[in-house]
Structure 1
Amino acid sequence: MRLTPDVLMQGYATGIFPMAEHRDDPEIFWVDPQRRGVMPLDGFHASRSLRRAMRNTSFEISINRDFEGVVEGCADRIDTWINEEIRNLYIELHHIGKAHSLEVWEGETLVGGVYGVVLGAVFFGESMFSRRTNASKIALACLVDRLGEGGFKLFDTQFLTEHLASLGGLEVSRATYHRALAVAQDLPASFTAPPLRSPQEVVQRMTQRS
């Protein structure tokens, strides 16, 4: 079956996501991990050093300003699962409002970002990248703040890496994930409705909640 945006969204709705072995491999396979990575929207852990970096940074944040640039940044590594077909599919999803990006800028230079797919109140985080110290951590902090205010209930990170675990990410069983997915995908949420906040505003909100 040829992958289309509709087929891709049907896959997400059932708890699976696509990958390729590497950039030049034309074959795409579906993945449904036994242990699923999630980021609790009320459990993001910003260390003291990260909070200090967010207060003092000159980075600026945007959403959906350069979706293709974020995907290219995520694919710009030796070992990547983003082949040309996957890249093009996510760009198509972005054009129909089903995929979004959050960018980190240093002046006019894109230095970090994260992108993912939206279905109801679920955000499926696909990948993130960083070309400056703390850029991906700041992107993730700003993303979690946006998802929480936008009404999202489930932030799927697919796998749990050491990087995500250090920021509060957890692993849950496949069954637990599928139950949460079934509920959250039918709830309303908006990625674009919340106001755009600077890293300084996001860390201030963190401090007020803690």
Structure 2
Amino acid sequence: MKKKNTNKFDSDLKWGQFIEWETIPFIEKTFNEVLIKRGEKMRFIQENISTKKNELKKWDLKFGIYKDGSPFLEREIYFEIKGDKFDETGNLFFEKSCSKKDSGVFATEANFFVYFLPRYKSKNFYLVKPKDLIELLTTKYASCLSYDGGDGGRVLSYLVTKSDFDEDFVKVGKLLDCSITIPDYFGLEKFKEKSKTTYQSDFLKCYENPLD
């Protein structure tokens, strides 16, 4: 039996937790710019601390919406967070499944999906409703689907060109600038990749504000 690489698992877990916590204030700021005008405010409630894999797939962070000045929760909003370690490669990676089981945005039950590329200087924070991202990927980028991911080739994913994808993405989601400081102990200098050329197709749909 092949021995599980626990060091890699622990490293990936720490990276994921780091990215989640770093995005919290930015998410609050982004949403509150809209919500305050409605007399509401968003506040972070908790992260998903379940020990069950199926439960962890559903969401990462939970926020609450409150009437401004009120301690009483009006409604909850859930986020799925994906943080990419790679440098500015010109590519984006969206996982579809692992071992034939849905994963990433295709498995989440969250209200919003965040794809964050902290090593990019700008246009690095993708905020979108999962259903809209799934529609964009499956409709326009179907030919970009391949077994090029990790975990021994068990990961089915979309590898797309960032510049072209961004033009389509802003019609269905928000593409923002978010800057954080990444600690040296993550050793991200090894995460580099050559640019790849991928398929592009036609315009999909009109822009939908993900905050609505």
Bigger Rg over Cα: 2
Higher helix share: 1
TM-score higher than 0.5: no
Scaled by the length of structure 1, the TM-score of the pair is 0.29
Whose RCO is larger (CA < 8 A, sep 6+)? 1
Scaled by the length of structure 2, the TM-score of the pair is 0.29
